[in-house]
Structure 1
Amino acid sequence: MKKFFSILLALIVIAGCGNFGKKVSKDYLEIYYKDGITKEQAEKALEYFYPKWQDKGEETKRKSIQLAKNGDTINFRMVSNMDVMDKMDDAVFYTTGNELSSELFNGAPVNVVLTDKKFKTIRTYVFKEMTKPNYGEKVLAGNIEVYYKDDITAEVADRMATFINQSLSPKNFISFQAGRDEGGLLLIRMVSNKEKADQIDDKEFYALAKTISENVFAGDPVVFQLADKTFKPFRTFEYKTDADPMAEEMTE
């Protein structure tokens, strides 16, 4: 699954001066590479991360990572804000290692290493293979990916991805999932950064749910959820066509 690692977006910072290896960079993002990592691998990682970690509508803070090889294992080292990292579930980092393994390094083990500004190790999450969850089939339009399941067809999912991409024109990847809840209602989930989502007015999410309903699903009622990168919801809204045209926030 192409994840944009939004949950780590604000937590990686720029490295201090030092001999950290060769470097490739693009705007806000710099990637150092050494110990058997090739320039081609570093450039592939740069192009992979750049759109995922870019803030929309504001200047993105500088971020530094380092790639190094130890035998057959890749060490993915990132300069980190530990005040925030300490509050995160370990599963986030183990999942990240699995994603990098499959997306960038042809299945090679990837350790996730949190470091200070001089790439001195603070904490290491040694790679452990995880069972890949089934999020459904996937379609992609620009920087929008939609996973679809239950009775949602590829045609409908593609229409949804295309519409959202044209409407939002996002600079970074955004992941959605379309399916049905236990009661058969249309269920739309959007991967979101909880800290940033908490700063956005609820009406914005209701408006998005309403727009998707009207332009993709012929005005059908929608249960719209904000979710983490594993599509586990943390906030739910319900758009009811037969109710007062205001958002009903169900859980938080």
Structure 2
Amino acid sequence: MPHGFAPNLVIAGQDECPQSMTMEEYKELAALPLGYHLQWSNILLQLAMPEVDFKKPETWLVILQCLYQAGPRGETHVRQAHLDCKDEHFARRVIAKLYESLGRALGLHVNIATRVLTLKQAIRDSCMAFLVLAREVAMDWLRTLRGRADTVRDASERANFIAKKTAIALVCGCTFDVDEAKLRVILECSTAASTLVLCSLAEQQGWSEQMSDDILLKLLRLRFNRVLHRARRFLPRNQAGLNAALHRIWSGYLPGTEGWRMTP
């Protein structure tokens, strides 16, 4: 079913609208995947004039389905469902709208940007610049949440801040989800290398079994683990970035004389 469900099924199934969204939002969300040639145009429309809530998990899952569903084969290596992004003008419009609505749903916007980067290399610089900005925004949020978690006394409130901090760390880590050649270049920057290590530390310290029940967090964690797997060969080359990350969380840290190296 490359075109998704027929529009009349959406209308007939209005009784399945979740309590958490309006009927109009439900119909707009259900219409996103209708017609594989229109999916990217529908996403661009929602970025420009949103009728759906980008922070809701239902929205995440539907848009992720549109972004990564292969669809029918085309005349080139790009599948027909993603031909819109082969148009440089269209791809630039998507990235421009991501800039305009960055604070609305950072995690989903990062997914869209990395997907556009995969599909249209000609706008590599615009995509990479957006990912750098998203990384900086996420790190600002991470610092704020870390400070709040360290100061609150109520255990449940502190756990809530830690959970949010972990989620933001995963989102920030996914800004590195590019191919190995680009990742190697990114991690030559000490600030970027330090950021990736800090995200990994925050995820390791904050992840709990309760978070495993959240499908979006599980997806982000799997994606971030894939990033770390690709990055492991490049990180030891940036000694300054590794040391800077540890200095951020441990003021008394002193680098060893032999530097960092990979274990077998």
Structure-1-length-normalised TM-score: 0.27
Higher helix share: 2
Higher strand share: 1
Structure with the larger RCO, 1 or 2 (CA within 8 Å, 6+ apart): 1
